[in-house]
Amino acid sequence: MGFTKVTSKVVLAEVRPGQEVLARRGAMLATTGTIAFSPVVGGPGGGAYGGGIASALARGMQGEAVPLMVAEGNGSVHYGYHGHHVTVVDLDGSQSMSVEADRLLAHDAGMSSSVVFLGQQGGLRGAVRGAVTGQGLFTTQLSGRGSVAVLSHGGTFALQVGGNRQVVVDPQAYVAHVGNLRLDVATAVSWRDAVGRGSGEGVQLKVSGEGTVYVQASEEKL
């Protein structure tokens, strides 16, 4: 199905029977055709769209839920959120995508989803909690064939990771990644950081493996 970029901050999703779209509540800007919206019930066994994706978004470090709506019918929907930039990533089914829960705008409802606790991947959340992104303990993992729209401040750029090439990202700027990647937190705290004279970059996110990491052009949180 796919999403079409209308502007840098708006995407258009085509909705057909059997081709529904999931998006965060409040993201719908306009519709054409006959479209019906209904809330996604969170938690396991919470309905057709109520499994991993709702659970991932409903749990945040700060306890703030990000509820979802499913768009059904025959028509199109324009999506955007608070004027944030939107990046569309198309998956061909061969690789999965992990995205910060608070960065997820919309995706094809037919894609499989699960919750990944990043504290199990090198301690991304458990070790530094609020020092990293402060957006949540969980990341949403999507797989299958379809499109995913993610939010960012100032747009995103993609960095290829592979072989012996390791990429280091400011944790505040990390948005998502595709492929078989490992994310590890490294701290470089010096005496300058201890006395408040450091650069503010004492925590780094090291990305290794094979895949692509998406980084936003800002350290600002959503």
> ∠ CA 199-201-204 to the nearest 5 degrees?
165
Instruction: Tell me the pLDDT of the chain averaged across its residues.
Output: 79
Residues 6+ apart with CB under 8 A from 27: 69, 79, 80, 81, 105, 106
Cα separation of 44 and 143, whole Å?
18
| C-alpha span between 175 and 171 (Å, rounded) | 9
Task: Please tell me the pTM assigned to this model.
Answer: 0.79
For 193, list phi and psi in degrees, rounded to 5.
Answer: -65, -40
pLDDT-flagged residues of the chain (< 50)? 43-48, 50-65, 119-137, 191, 194-195, 197-200
Q: What is the pLDDT of residue 195?
A: 47
Helix (H, G, I), strand (E, B) or coil at 26: coil
pLDDT of residue 184: 83
Specify the DSSP element, H or E, that contains 117.
Answer: strand 112-117
User: What is the pairing mode between strands 85-92 and 97-100?
Assistant: unpaired
If 0-12 CB within 10 Å is exposed, 13-18 middle and 19+ buried, where does residue 140 land?
buried
Given this model, what pLDDT does residue 2 score? 78
Calculate the CA 127 to chain-centre distance. Answer: 21
Supply the pLDDT for residue 159.
95
Helix (H, G, I), strand (E, B) or coil at 80: coil
Q: Indicate the SS3 state at residue 59.
A: coil
Cβ burial of 42 (10 Å; 0-12, 13-18, 19+) is buried
pLDDT tens-digit map of 147-175: 999 999 999 999 999 988 778 998 889 99
